[in-house]
Amino acid sequence: MTEDTYQWPEEAILLSGEPKPEARAQNGNWVGGLFREILSTVLPAVLIAVLMHLFLAQSSVVFGKSMQPNFFTDQRLIVEKVSYHLHAPQRGDVVIVRDPDGGPLPLIKRVVGLPGERVTVGDGRVYIDGLMLDEPYLDEPTEGASRSWVVPPFHLFVMGDNRNNSRDSRFFGPVATDSIMGHAVFRYWPLNELGLPR
């Protein structure tokens, strides 16, 4: 029985890159078959990766010290982009936000104040509507002159965890919710710090 007359069973499966049975008999057409096989395997994979990067999640690298002691330069994070289409950001979320001052790089900050709230910084602490905010992720007081801001609708008050070395809403004001690019949900590098962000 030649390969031309062999009947392939319906439950057979071809491994990626293996030519179809008909192509095996056509010695002169192997280049075209290989090209089609590469296109049918690589192109969908690239397309899926691009769509995931644009709409679902992406890998990001931390740069700078404004989020120490919880995030350091060169740490790698997974930033998801879907949840804020379903619900508003929550207090304590670590977010990636477009630089309100027009800088080329987005900023990583923590949501502190929500729309309609009065955020007050004084006596080394942050107060929301007069109540002291519990911030277990900090390891130093929030220094600076006493000051208050009212967060407008569709805005958030964001701050770095390294309060005394962070350019944040205390300097550029509350940020629009539509400037939030994503939510940092997982740290995957370095491996000894693998896990959910604090």
Convert the pLDDT of each residue in 100-123 to its tens digit.
999 899 999 999 999 999 999 999
In sequence order, what DSSP letters do the residues of 121-170 get, joined into one string? EETTEEEETTEEPP-TT-SS---S--EEEEPPTTEEEEE-SSGGG--SHH
- Say what the pLDDT of residue 37 is: 73
Q: Does the global pTM surpass 0.85?
A: no
Task: Look at 4-18, 65-79, 127-141 and tell me which has the smallest mean pLDDT.
Answer: 4-18
Mean pLDDT of the residues in the chain: 82
Task: Look at 15-19, 88-92, 168-172, 193-197 and tell me which has the smallest mean pLDDT.
Answer: 15-19
Of 81, 109, 166, 169, which one is the catalytic site residue? Answer: 109
Of 66, 81, 166, 169, which one is the catalytic site residue? Answer: 66
Kindly list the distances between the CA atom of residue 68 and the CA atoms of 56, 64, 110, 149, 150, in Å, as whole numbers in the listed order.
Answer: 27, 9, 12, 24, 26
Instruction: Give tens-digit pLDDT for 9-62.
Output: 555 454 444 555 554 545 557 666 777 777 667 666 666 656 555 556 677 788
Which distant-in-sequence residues (6+ apart) come within 8 Å of 82 by Cβ?
55, 56, 57
What SS3 class is residue 59? strand
> Does residue 152 have a pLDDT over 50?
yes
First to last CA, the chain: 66
Of 195 and 37, the structure prediction assigns the larger pLDDT to 195
User: Locate tokens 């509507």: which residue?
Assistant: 129
DSSP state of 4: T
Which distant-in-sequence residues (6+ apart) come within 8 Å of 140 by Cβ?
162, 163, 164
Domain spans of the chain?
A: 1-56, 62-193
66 is catalytic: yes
In sequence order, what DSSP letters do the residues of 83-96 get, joined into one string? GGGTS---TT-EEE
169 is catalytic: no
- Amino acid 198 reads R
Cβ–Cβ < 8 Å for 93, 81 = no
- Say what the pLDDT of residue 14 is: 46
- Say what the pLDDT of residue 58 is: 75
Domain 62-193 homologous superfamily, CATH = Umud Fragment, subunit A (2.10.109.10)
